[in-house]
């Protein structure tokens, strides 16, 4: 693969119907860089205490020097469990985590727990790379989350990217409001994360809304 540059935009908002933003993202600001690159969206469990803290703990592990997603996600899980042990009132806290790395060959590795999502727009097609880990018949009930158990099953997959591809990481507060066809159209139009989140906020969303849009150019 020829040399390429990664350009990304990022935004996370509380939304009009939540008291606090329990989503956390990495990176938090739009920028550009050469690979390797790391990014993640974490969605603290709503209805549980300290979901915002759980998501922040998880996303902060992306600052570790390693690009091994299995290690990063397990480290995040262990840190959330440690926090609960030290703060018993926080027992039950948890978060999703959908994280990626992109190396200089354009290979994207995905590590995924929960129901945040990774999409790829390529050759005019939208691919939902991750599978939502919800209990069948219960859209808002997760099979697992970081902080729920010492042993978690991390969904891992490799996806070969090429120049011109666009990656979207987002929380369920985004995709539940607009659906895949809308996402496809907007990614085809070259929308930024800032603009995409702005459009969702106009719909009076029930949840926090977060997105990272990553372009390979």
Domain assignment present for residue 19? The answer is: yes
Number of domains in the chain: 1
* Burial zone of 98 (CB within 10 Å; 0-12 exposed, 13-18 middle, 19+ buried): buried
At residue 139, the pLDDT reads 76
Give the pLDDT of residue 47.
67
CATH number assigned to the domain comprising residue 166: 3.60.40.10
The C-alpha torsion from 125 through 170 and 71 to 148, rounded to 10°, is -130
Q: Is residue 131 included in any domain, yes or no?
A: yes
Strand order in the sheet with 31-33: 31-33, 6-13, 209-216, 166-170, 117-122, 125-128
Mean pLDDT, rounded, of the chain: 96
Residue 194 pLDDT: 98
pLDDT in tens, 2-19: 799 999 999 999 999 999
Q: Residues 198, 204, 209, 215: is their CA dihedral positive or negative?
A: negative
Query: Do β-strands 125-128 and 209-216 pair in parallel, antiparallel, or remain unpaired?
Result: unpaired
Whether 196 is covered by a domain: the verdict is yes
In a domain, 84, yes or no: yes
Residue 55 domain boundaries: 6-216
Is position 1 within any domain? no
Q: What is the pLDDT of residues 182-212, one digit of tens each?
A: 999 999 999 999 999 999 999 999 999 999 9
Is 68 within a domain?
yes
Give domain status of residue 128, yes or no.
yes
Mean pLDDT for 113-125 is 98
Residue 158 covered by a domain: yes
Q: How large is the average pLDDT for residues 99-107?
A: 97
Q: Is residue 48 over pLDDT 90?
A: no
**Does residue 68 carry a pLDDT above 80?**
yes
Distances (CA, A) of 173 to 34, 50, 122, 196: 30, 18, 23, 12
Q: Tell me the average pLDDT across 27-56.
A: 94
């Amino acid at each position: 693969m020829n040399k390429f540059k990664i350009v990304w935009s990022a935004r996370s908002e509380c939304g009009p119907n939540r008291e606090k933003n329990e989503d956390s993202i990495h990176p938090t600001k739009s920028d550009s860089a050469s690979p390797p690159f790391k990014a993640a969206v974490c969605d603290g469990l709503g209805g549980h205490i300290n979901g915002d803290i759980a998501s922040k703990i998880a996303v902060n592990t992306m600052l570790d020097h390693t690009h091994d997603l299995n290690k990063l996600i397990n480290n995040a899980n262990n840190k959330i469990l440690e926090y609960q042990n030290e703060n018993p009132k926080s027992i039950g806290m948890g978060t999703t985590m959908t994280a990626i790395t992109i190396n200089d060959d354009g290979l994207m590795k995905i590590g995924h727990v929960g129901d945040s999502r990774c999409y790829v727009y390529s050759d005019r097609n939208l691919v939902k790379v991750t599978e939502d880990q919800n209990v069948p018949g219960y859209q808002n009930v997760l099979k697992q989350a970081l902080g729920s158990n010492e042993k978690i099953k991390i969904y891992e997959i490799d996806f070969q990217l090429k120049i011109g591809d666009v990656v979207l990481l987002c929380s369920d507060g985004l995709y539940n409001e607009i659906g895949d066809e809308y996402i496809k159209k907007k990614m085809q139009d070259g929308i930024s994360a800032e603009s995409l989140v702005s459009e969702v906020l106009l719909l009076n969303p029930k949840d926090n809304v977060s997105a990272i849009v990553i372009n390979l150019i």
